């Protein structure tokens, strides 16, 4: 890497191009994916590891997570869903279960001004 590259931004403020890109990428869906990944970063690769995992935001209010093999979908949904143990919150605060079957689940997150839908899919090899 060439640190003398003149394209490297050094100003103390964001450029217009940076602001535009942040409006597209720093969304409620991206925030939710960050919170989810903090919880799943070890879960999907422990005793029964997933072969691969992919996470992305399709829109500012819609995020997806898919993985191959690994933990059962219901276990992941239960881990992510917000739970209140006598004032101790576990899971992702504001994340609620909408629907869940053996291979797909829908959840919604109330942690932003715009509710975010999270779809989870477990694929089998």
Residue pointed to by tokens 């949904």: 77
* SS3 call for 101: coil
Provide the 10 A C-beta neighbour count for residue 13.
7
For the cut 90, the answer to whether the pLDDT of residue 14 exceeds it is: no
What are the tokens at 57?
A: 């935001």
User: Residues 91-113: what's their mean pLDDT?
Assistant: 96
Asked whether 29 and 57 are in contact (CB, 8 A), the reply is yes
To the nearest whole percent, how much of the chain has pLDDT over 90?
A: 62
User: Residues 105-113: what's their mean pLDDT?
Assistant: 96
For the cut 70, the answer to whether the pLDDT of residue 80 exceeds it is: yes
Asked whether 106 and 118 are in contact (CB, 8 A), the reply is yes
Provide the 10 A C-beta neighbour count for residue 88.
7
* Residue 1 pLDDT level (bands cut at 50, 70, 90): low
User: Residues 42-56: what's their mean pLDDT?
Assistant: 83
Average pLDDT over the chain reads 90
Pick the CATH number of 27-123 from 3.30.420, 3.30.460, 3.90.1410, 2.60.120: 3.30.460
Please state, in angstroms and rounded to a whole number, the distance separating the CA atoms of residues 63 and 88.
26
For the cut 90, the answer to whether the pLDDT of residue 7 exceeds it is: no
For the cut 80, the answer to whether the pLDDT of residue 61 exceeds it is: yes
Asked whether 95 and 77 are in contact (CB, 8 A), the reply is no
H and E: helices and strands count for the chain: 3, 7
Task: Tell me phi and psi for residue 95, to 5 degrees.
Answer: -90, 120
User: Residues 50-67: what's their mean pLDDT?
Assistant: 93
Cα end-to-end span (Å), the chain? 39
pTM of the model: 0.83
């Amino acid at each position: 890497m060439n640190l003398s590259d003149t394209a490297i931004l050094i100003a103390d403020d964001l450029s217009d191009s940076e602001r535009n890109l942040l409006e597209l990428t720093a969304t409620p869906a991206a925030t939710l994916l960050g919170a989810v990944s903090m919880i799943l970063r070890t879960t999907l690769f422990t005793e029964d590891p997933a072969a691969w995992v992919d996470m992305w935001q399709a829109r500012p209010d819609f995020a997806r997570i898919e993985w191959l093999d690994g933990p059962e979908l219901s276990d992941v949904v239960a881990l992510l869903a917000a739970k209140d143990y006598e004032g101790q919150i576990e899971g992702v605060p504001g994340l609620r279960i909408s629907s869940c079957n053996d291979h797909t689940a829908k959840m919604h997150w109330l942690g932003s001004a715009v509710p975010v839908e999270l779809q989870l899919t477990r694929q089998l090899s």
